[in-house]
Amino acid sequence: MKDFGGEWTEQKLKAFIKYVKAYLTILKKQKWQTIYFDGFAGYGNKTKEKSLDKYNLLTLFDLEEEVENIDVYEGSVQRILSLKEPHTFDYYYFIDSNEKYIKNLEETKSEIVHISQNRIIIRKDDCNNQIIKLADALKRKKYAALIFLDPFGMQVKWKVLENLRNTRSDLWILLPSGVAINRLLDKDKKLKHKEKLMELFGLPIQEIEKEFYQEIESETIFGKEVKEEKIKNPINHIANLYIQQLRTIWKFVLEKPLILYNTKNCPIFHFIFASNNKVGLRIASDIIVKEQDNG
């Protein structure tokens, strides 16, 4: 069984689980109370559905061609909950806003016998609301949280992530750099979804425009003509700008994240790591280098 998305999903989860095991090995020695937080758990729960209806952004941005090889995979939820000592968390939080996926998560939870049921918390809510609550808890008690944000689109709001500043948190986030974001940054600079771009990057639209568009001067029979064009290689720059922003919240952000490609060898996502712990950065970097080489 596999999770939604094809080979790139398998590559992403393989890297993530390697980090989870290393993370828990270190944290248990340091006597931290550990929290696992999955903000889009319905996407990472096993499913026999092959439809794309759960990802409404696919329809909005016409991305079906970008994400192929849809199949049934063992997702992040099953992989995390199947881990046994010493690779278990003190608390697990699975968040999703869809009632149907919540029911699926409850069924998955009921099948787990090696982790106490009261340690597995499932909440029906917008991930952004729950991140704020998590950040508050991390600031009040000696908790360390590993946060897994695996949305297909651009649901995670920058102003919400800022609440995690100065917390003992490690973040893995899937950035739809080559699909949703790149599509919103259209060649003609119409930018019909400015609010979404500002919410994602935490920057005013004027700064975003400066990052992705440049003035090109050319000679015509009528003299010099200046027009604005989208920069070359915008997908990598999307990731670099997001990484730059993450550094305003976390001390250490992986400079070279895991790049996930479709079967046409086009980059569609960047899987990015951030932490306030230098050791975590080193571990994540080692994992990603090996996984990218094998990808």
Distance of alpha carbon 89 from alpha carbon 172, whole angstroms:
16
pLDDT score at 83: 96
Higher per-residue pLDDT: 31 or 118:
118
Spatial distance between the Cα atoms of 63 and 41, rounded to a whole number of angstroms: 22
**Hunting for tokens 């990218």 — which residue is that?**
292
Rounded Cα distance between 287 and 258, Å, is 9
Q: What's the pLDDT at 90?
A: 96
Length of the chain: 295
Which pLDDT value is given to residue 178?
93
Q: Is the pLDDT of residue 187 over 60?
A: yes
Q: What is the pLDDT of residue 295?
A: 57
CA distances from 158 to 38, 43, 85, 163, 188 (A): 17, 21, 34, 9, 26
pLDDT at 226: 65
Please give the Cα distance from 108 to 3 (Å, whole number).
14
pTM for the structure as a whole? 0.88
Q: Has residue 51 got a pLDDT over 80?
A: no
Q: DSSP code of 74?
A: B
> pLDDT-based confidence at 263, cuts 50/70/90?
confident
DSSP helix/strand/coil, 2:
strand
Q: Is residue 1 part of a domain?
A: no
Sign of CA dihedral 240, 246, 252, 253: negative
Mean pLDDT on 30-56: 68
pLDDT digits (tens, 9 = 90+) for 208-222: 999 999 987 766 666
DSSP class of 145: E
Residue 33 is predicted with a pLDDT of 92
pLDDT of residue 18 exceeding 80, the answer is yes
pLDDT at 46: 56
Residue 132, pLDDT score: 98
Question: Is residue 100, in this structure, part of any structural domain at all?
Answer: yes
Q: Where are the beta strands (DSSP E) in the chain?
A: 33-38, 91-96, 120-124, 143-149, 169-175, 213-220, 223-230, 252-253, 258-261, 267-275
What pLDDT was estimated at residue 10?
A: 86
* 144 has pLDDT over 80: yes
Q: Answer yes or no: is 165 within a domain.
A: yes
Q: Which residue has the higher pLDDT, 81 or 215?
A: 81
Instruction: Quote the mean pLDDT of the chain.
Output: 86
Write out the DSSP string of 29-58: HTT-EEEEEETTTTTTS------STT-HHH
Residue 198: both structure tokens together? 């500002």
Rounded-to-integer distance, Cα 270 and Cα 278, Å? 21
Please report which confidence band the pLDDT of residue 62 belongs to, taking 50, 70 and 90 as the band edges: very low
Q: Is residue 2 part of a domain?
A: no
| Of 29-43, 46-60, 220-234, highest mean pLDDT | 29-43
Domain that holds residue 104: 7-294
The domain total for the chain is 1
Distance CA 165, CA 161 (A): 8
Tokens standing for 76? 């992040």
Determine the pLDDT at residue 248: 98
Note the pLDDT of residue 264: 85
Question: Does the pLDDT at position 181 exceed 70?
Answer: yes
Count of CB atoms within 10 A of residue 241's CB? Answer: 20
More confident residue, 159 or 75: 159
Given the structure tokens 């990472």, which residue do they identify? 44
pLDDT for residue 43: 65
Whether 239 is in a domain gets the answer yes
| Three-class secondary structure assignment of 207-231 | HHHHHHEEEEEEEECCEEEEEEEEC
The answer to whether position 27 is within a domain reads yes
CATH code of the domain covering residue 52: 3.40.50
* Residue 261 token pair: 């490609």
Question: Tens of pLDDT along 215-253?
Answer: 877 666 666 776 789 999 999 999 999 999 999 999 999
Where does residue 156 fall: left (phi above 0), alpha (psi -120 to 50 degrees), or beta otherwise? beta
Pairing mode, if any, of strands 91-96 and 120-124?
Answer: parallel
Residue 292's pLDDT is what?
78
- Residue 81, in any domain of the structure: yes
Question: Which pLDDT belongs to residue 19?
Answer: 96
pLDDT in tens, 162-180: 999 999 999 999 999 998 9
- Residue 85 in any domain: the answer is yes
